[in-house]
Amino acid sequence: MRLTQLDMNLFVAFDAIYEERSLTRAAEILHITQPAASNALNRLRKQFDDPLFVRTPQGMMPTPLARNAAGPIRKALQLLDASVTPIENFEPGASQMTVSCSMIDLAEARILPSLLASFAEKAPGMSVRSYHVPRSEMATELASGRLAFAVDVPLPVSADLCHLELSHENYVCAVRYDHPVLKRKPTMKQYLGMGHLHVSSRRSGMGTMDLALKNIGKRRNIVARVTHYSAAGPIIENTDLALTLPRNMAHDLNLKSYALPFDVPSIALRLYWHKSVDNDPAHRWLREIVIENAGMANL
Protein backbone atom coordinates (compact mmCIF):
# COMPACT_ATOMS: atom_id res chain seq x y z
CA MET A 1 0.00 0.00 0.00
CA ARG A 2 1.39 3.36 -1.06
CA LEU A 3 0.47 6.38 1.04
CA THR A 4 0.19 8.54 -2.07
CA GLN A 5 -2.60 6.26 -3.33
CA LEU A 6 -4.61 6.46 -0.11
CA ASP A 7 -7.33 9.02 0.62
CA MET A 8 -6.23 10.68 3.87
CA ASN A 9 -9.90 11.09 4.88
CA LEU A 10 -10.06 7.32 5.28
CA PHE A 11 -7.80 7.61 8.32
CA VAL A 12 -10.30 10.03 9.85
CA ALA A 13 -13.08 7.49 9.22
CA PHE A 14 -10.94 4.71 10.70
CA ASP A 15 -10.34 6.72 13.87
CA ALA A 16 -14.05 7.53 14.27
CA ILE A 17 -15.12 3.89 13.79
CA TYR A 18 -12.45 2.69 16.19
CA GLU A 19 -13.53 5.20 18.83
CA GLU A 20 -17.28 4.68 18.51
CA ARG A 21 -17.38 0.96 17.59
CA SER A 22 -20.36 1.89 15.44
CA LEU A 23 -20.76 2.87 11.79
CA THR A 24 -23.89 4.87 12.62
CA ARG A 25 -22.27 6.96 15.38
CA ALA A 26 -19.08 7.36 13.33
CA ALA A 27 -21.15 8.71 10.42
CA GLU A 28 -22.85 11.20 12.73
CA ILE A 29 -19.52 12.46 14.07
CA LEU A 30 -18.11 12.76 10.55
CA HIS A 31 -21.32 14.45 9.28
CA ILE A 32 -21.71 11.89 6.50
CA THR A 33 -24.34 9.27 5.73
CA GLN A 34 -24.05 5.72 7.04
CA PRO A 35 -23.62 4.32 3.49
CA ALA A 36 -20.71 6.76 3.03
CA ALA A 37 -19.14 5.53 6.28
CA SER A 38 -19.65 1.92 5.15
CA ASN A 39 -18.03 2.75 1.82
CA ALA A 40 -15.04 4.28 3.60
CA LEU A 41 -14.65 1.12 5.69
CA ASN A 42 -14.79 -1.07 2.58
CA ARG A 43 -12.04 1.01 0.96
CA LEU A 44 -9.94 0.74 4.11
CA ARG A 45 -10.39 -3.03 4.16
CA LYS A 46 -9.21 -3.20 0.57
CA GLN A 47 -6.19 -1.00 1.24
CA PHE A 48 -5.15 -2.87 4.39
CA ASP A 49 -6.21 -6.29 3.07
CA ASP A 50 -7.86 -6.93 6.43
CA PRO A 51 -11.44 -6.78 7.80
CA LEU A 52 -10.30 -4.21 10.36
CA PHE A 53 -13.69 -4.23 12.18
CA VAL A 54 -15.98 -7.20 12.82
CA ARG A 55 -19.66 -6.88 13.70
CA THR A 56 -20.50 -8.30 17.13
CA PRO A 57 -23.33 -7.79 19.64
CA GLN A 58 -20.99 -5.33 21.40
CA GLY A 59 -20.46 -3.29 18.22
CA MET A 60 -17.74 -3.06 15.54
CA MET A 61 -14.79 -4.75 17.22
CA PRO A 62 -11.29 -4.05 15.80
CA THR A 63 -9.10 -6.84 14.50
CA PRO A 64 -5.52 -7.18 15.81
CA LEU A 65 -4.23 -5.22 12.81
CA ALA A 66 -6.69 -2.40 13.52
CA ARG A 67 -5.73 -2.33 17.20
CA ASN A 68 -2.03 -2.06 16.29
CA ALA A 69 -2.70 0.69 13.76
CA ALA A 70 -5.09 2.74 15.91
CA GLY A 71 -2.47 4.41 18.12
CA PRO A 72 -0.13 5.58 15.34
CA ILE A 73 -3.10 6.75 13.23
CA ARG A 74 -4.52 8.77 16.14
CA LYS A 75 -1.14 10.41 16.80
CA ALA A 76 -0.68 11.22 13.11
CA LEU A 77 -4.13 12.81 12.91
CA GLN A 78 -3.46 14.89 16.03
CA LEU A 79 -0.16 16.08 14.55
CA LEU A 80 -1.82 17.01 11.26
CA ASP A 81 -4.61 18.80 13.09
CA ALA A 82 -2.11 20.80 15.13
CA SER A 83 -0.19 21.79 12.00
CA VAL A 84 -3.21 23.29 10.26
CA THR A 85 -4.99 24.75 13.28
CA PRO A 86 -3.95 28.37 13.96
CA ILE A 87 -2.13 28.85 17.26
CA GLU A 88 -4.13 31.47 19.11
CA ASN A 89 -1.59 32.09 21.85
CA PHE A 90 2.16 32.33 21.96
CA GLU A 91 4.03 31.87 25.21
CA PRO A 92 7.46 33.53 24.79
CA GLY A 93 8.63 32.30 28.17
CA ALA A 94 8.25 28.68 27.02
CA SER A 95 9.54 29.13 23.47
CA GLN A 96 12.78 27.55 22.24
CA MET A 97 12.57 29.30 18.88
CA THR A 98 15.70 30.45 17.06
CA VAL A 99 15.10 33.78 15.34
CA SER A 100 17.13 34.39 12.18
CA CYS A 101 17.31 37.97 10.93
CA SER A 102 19.26 40.21 8.59
CA MET A 103 20.21 43.69 9.76
CA ILE A 104 22.43 46.31 8.24
CA ASP A 105 25.37 47.27 10.45
CA LEU A 106 23.67 50.40 11.75
CA ALA A 107 20.52 48.50 12.80
CA GLU A 108 22.46 45.66 14.36
CA ALA A 109 24.46 48.04 16.53
CA ARG A 110 21.44 50.11 17.53
CA ILE A 111 18.76 47.44 18.08
CA LEU A 112 20.39 44.08 18.82
CA PRO A 113 21.82 44.84 22.31
CA SER A 114 18.46 45.86 23.80
CA LEU A 115 16.64 43.15 21.81
CA LEU A 116 18.83 40.45 23.38
CA ALA A 117 18.23 41.96 26.81
CA SER A 118 14.46 41.72 26.20
CA PHE A 119 14.78 38.10 25.13
CA ALA A 120 16.76 37.30 28.27
CA GLU A 121 13.97 38.78 30.38
CA LYS A 122 10.85 37.67 28.49
CA ALA A 123 11.92 34.66 26.40
CA PRO A 124 15.08 33.11 27.89
CA GLY A 125 14.76 29.99 25.73
CA MET A 126 14.83 31.93 22.47
CA SER A 127 18.03 32.66 20.55
CA VAL A 128 18.97 35.07 17.75
CA ARG A 129 21.09 34.59 14.62
CA SER A 130 21.84 37.87 12.85
CA TYR A 131 23.71 37.72 9.56
CA HIS A 132 23.94 39.79 6.40
CA VAL A 133 21.74 38.83 3.46
CA PRO A 134 22.21 40.72 0.18
CA ARG A 135 19.22 42.91 -0.61
CA SER A 136 18.68 41.01 -3.86
CA GLU A 137 18.07 37.83 -1.83
CA MET A 138 16.08 39.31 1.05
CA ALA A 139 12.60 38.66 -0.37
CA THR A 140 13.44 35.03 -1.16
CA GLU A 141 14.92 34.42 2.30
CA LEU A 142 11.86 35.93 4.00
CA ALA A 143 9.46 33.94 1.81
CA SER A 144 11.25 30.67 2.55
CA GLY A 145 11.17 31.27 6.30
CA ARG A 146 14.94 31.15 6.58
CA LEU A 147 14.69 34.77 7.73
CA ALA A 148 12.09 35.83 10.29
CA PHE A 149 12.62 39.52 9.55
CA ALA A 150 15.05 42.04 8.10
CA VAL A 151 15.94 45.60 9.06
CA ASP A 152 17.25 47.79 6.27
CA VAL A 153 16.87 51.18 4.63
CA PRO A 154 13.72 51.85 2.55
CA LEU A 155 13.75 49.53 -0.44
CA PRO A 156 11.39 48.85 -3.35
CA VAL A 157 9.66 45.57 -2.42
CA SER A 158 6.87 43.37 -3.80
CA ALA A 159 3.37 43.10 -2.37
CA ASP A 160 4.46 39.85 -0.66
CA LEU A 161 6.55 41.80 1.85
CA CYS A 162 5.17 43.87 4.70
CA HIS A 163 7.18 46.72 6.17
CA LEU A 164 7.10 49.30 8.93
CA GLU A 165 9.33 52.30 9.65
CA LEU A 166 11.33 51.84 12.85
CA SER A 167 13.37 55.02 13.05
CA HIS A 168 14.20 58.28 11.33
CA GLU A 169 17.53 60.04 12.01
CA ASN A 170 19.50 63.01 10.72
CA TYR A 171 23.09 62.76 9.54
CA VAL A 172 25.84 64.64 11.37
CA CYS A 173 29.55 65.24 10.90
CA ALA A 174 31.56 63.47 13.65
CA VAL A 175 35.20 63.74 14.72
CA ARG A 176 37.22 62.83 17.79
CA TYR A 177 36.80 65.11 20.80
CA ASP A 178 40.34 66.53 20.60
CA HIS A 179 40.24 67.16 16.86
CA PRO A 180 42.90 69.80 16.03
CA VAL A 181 40.77 71.80 13.60
CA LEU A 182 37.05 71.24 14.03
CA LYS A 183 35.72 72.93 17.20
CA ARG A 184 32.26 73.95 16.02
CA LYS A 185 29.82 73.34 13.17
CA PRO A 186 31.96 73.10 10.04
CA THR A 187 31.60 75.48 7.17
CA MET A 188 31.28 73.95 3.74
CA LYS A 189 34.94 74.83 3.09
CA GLN A 190 36.05 73.08 6.28
CA TYR A 191 33.89 70.03 5.60
CA LEU A 192 35.24 69.61 2.06
CA GLY A 193 38.80 70.33 3.21
CA MET A 194 38.90 67.42 5.68
CA GLY A 195 39.65 63.80 4.87
CA HIS A 196 36.59 61.58 5.25
CA LEU A 197 35.90 57.99 6.27
CA HIS A 198 32.95 56.36 4.53
CA VAL A 199 30.99 53.35 5.85
CA SER A 200 29.21 51.18 3.31
CA SER A 201 28.54 47.47 2.77
CA ARG A 202 29.12 47.98 -0.95
CA ARG A 203 32.54 47.83 -2.61
CA SER A 204 32.03 51.15 -4.32
CA GLY A 205 29.45 53.83 -4.96
CA MET A 206 28.30 57.06 -3.37
CA GLY A 207 26.53 57.45 -0.07
CA THR A 208 23.50 59.61 0.63
CA MET A 209 25.71 62.55 1.63
CA ASP A 210 27.77 62.24 -1.57
CA LEU A 211 24.63 62.38 -3.69
CA ALA A 212 23.53 65.48 -1.78
CA LEU A 213 26.92 67.11 -2.43
CA LYS A 214 26.83 66.15 -6.09
CA ASN A 215 23.47 67.90 -6.44
CA ILE A 216 25.13 71.18 -5.43
CA GLY A 217 28.28 70.57 -7.47
CA LYS A 218 30.52 69.55 -4.56
CA ARG A 219 32.60 66.49 -3.71
CA ARG A 220 34.26 65.41 -0.46
CA ASN A 221 37.66 63.72 -0.10
CA ILE A 222 37.10 60.08 0.95
CA VAL A 223 40.41 58.84 2.35
CA ALA A 224 39.19 55.46 3.63
CA ARG A 225 36.17 53.18 3.22
CA VAL A 226 35.06 50.41 5.62
CA THR A 227 32.05 48.12 5.84
CA HIS A 228 31.18 48.41 9.54
CA TYR A 229 30.65 51.22 12.03
CA SER A 230 32.40 49.08 14.65
CA ALA A 231 35.62 49.68 12.72
CA ALA A 232 34.83 53.33 12.03
CA GLY A 233 34.79 54.38 15.69
CA PRO A 234 38.42 53.45 16.50
CA ILE A 235 39.58 54.91 13.18
CA ILE A 236 38.03 58.31 13.89
CA GLU A 237 39.30 58.31 17.49
CA ASN A 238 42.87 57.81 16.25
CA THR A 239 42.93 60.05 13.17
CA ASP A 240 41.89 63.54 12.06
CA LEU A 241 39.33 62.09 9.64
CA ALA A 242 35.66 63.05 9.72
CA LEU A 243 32.75 60.63 9.57
CA THR A 244 29.26 61.49 8.36
CA LEU A 245 26.75 59.20 10.08
CA PRO A 246 23.37 59.11 11.88
CA ARG A 247 23.29 61.26 15.02
CA ASN A 248 22.56 58.45 17.48
CA MET A 249 25.36 56.32 16.09
CA ALA A 250 27.82 59.17 16.68
CA HIS A 251 26.71 59.21 20.31
CA ASP A 252 27.15 55.44 20.58
CA LEU A 253 30.69 55.69 19.21
CA ASN A 254 31.54 58.49 21.67
CA LEU A 255 32.33 60.98 18.91
CA LYS A 256 31.85 64.74 18.84
CA SER A 257 29.13 65.58 16.33
CA TYR A 258 28.09 68.74 14.49
CA ALA A 259 25.27 69.64 12.15
CA LEU A 260 26.19 69.40 8.47
CA PRO A 261 26.70 72.57 6.42
CA PHE A 262 24.39 71.28 3.68
CA ASP A 263 21.04 69.48 3.46
CA VAL A 264 21.04 65.67 3.46
CA PRO A 265 17.94 63.46 3.49
CA SER A 266 17.55 61.72 6.85
CA ILE A 267 18.11 57.99 7.12
CA ALA A 268 15.16 55.70 7.86
CA LEU A 269 15.25 52.08 9.01
CA ARG A 270 12.44 49.73 8.11
CA LEU A 271 11.38 46.36 9.47
CA TYR A 272 10.53 43.84 6.72
CA TRP A 273 8.68 40.53 7.01
CA HIS A 274 6.74 38.19 4.70
CA LYS A 275 2.97 38.48 4.52
CA SER A 276 2.61 34.74 5.22
CA VAL A 277 3.56 35.35 8.87
CA ASP A 278 1.71 38.63 9.27
CA ASN A 279 -0.97 37.05 11.50
CA ASP A 280 1.21 34.45 13.17
CA PRO A 281 1.05 35.02 16.97
CA ALA A 282 4.75 34.24 17.50
CA HIS A 283 5.78 36.62 14.74
CA ARG A 284 3.42 39.34 15.97
CA TRP A 285 5.07 39.12 19.39
CA LEU A 286 8.51 39.20 17.77
CA ARG A 287 7.64 42.30 15.73
CA GLU A 288 6.34 44.07 18.83
CA ILE A 289 9.61 43.36 20.64
CA VAL A 290 11.71 44.60 17.70
CA ILE A 291 9.60 47.77 17.39
CA GLU A 292 9.80 48.37 21.13
CA ASN A 293 13.57 48.03 21.19
CA ALA A 294 14.03 50.13 18.07
CA GLY A 295 12.17 52.88 19.91
CA MET A 296 14.39 52.48 22.97
CA ALA A 297 17.50 52.68 20.78
CA ASN A 298 16.36 56.04 19.43
CA LEU A 299 15.65 57.75 22.78
Q: Which letter, b or e, does each residue of 83-122 get, where b requires 16 or more Cβ atoms within 10 Å of its Cβ?
A: eeeeeeebebeebebebbbbbbbbbbbbbbebbeebbeee
Q: What is the CATH number of domain 93-160+279-297?
A: 3.40.190.10
Neighbours of 223 (CB within 10 A): 15
Q: What is the pTM of this model?
A: 0.66
**Cα–Cα nearest to 14, from 5, 226, 51:** 51
Q: How far apart are CA 149 and CA 143, in angstroms?
A: 10
| Residue 22: CA count within 13 A, CB half-sphere | 8
Give 171-265's CATH code, choosing from 3.60.15.10, 3.40.190.10, 3.60.21.10, 3.40.50.300: 3.40.190.10
Walk along the chain (299 residues) and give the pLDDT tens digit of each residue: 555 566 778 989 999 999 899 999 999 988 899 999 999 999 999 988 999 999 998 899 999 999 999 988 888 887 777 666 555 678 899 999 999 999 998 888 889 999 999 999 999 999 999 988 988 899 999 998 899 999 999 999 888 999 999 988 999 999 999 999 999 999 999 999 999 999 988 888 899 999 999 999 999 999 999 988 889 999 999 999 999 999 989 998 999 999 999 999 999 999 999 998 998 889 999 999 999 988 755 54
Domains 93-160+279-297 and 171-265 fall in the same CATH topology? yes
Domain boundaries, the chain: 3-84, 93-160+279-297, 171-265
Q: How far apart are CA 140 and CA 23, in angstroms?
A: 49
Question: Domain 3-84, what fold?
Answer: Arc Repressor Mutant, subunit A (1.10.10)
Q: How far apart are CA 22 and CA 60, in angstroms?
A: 6
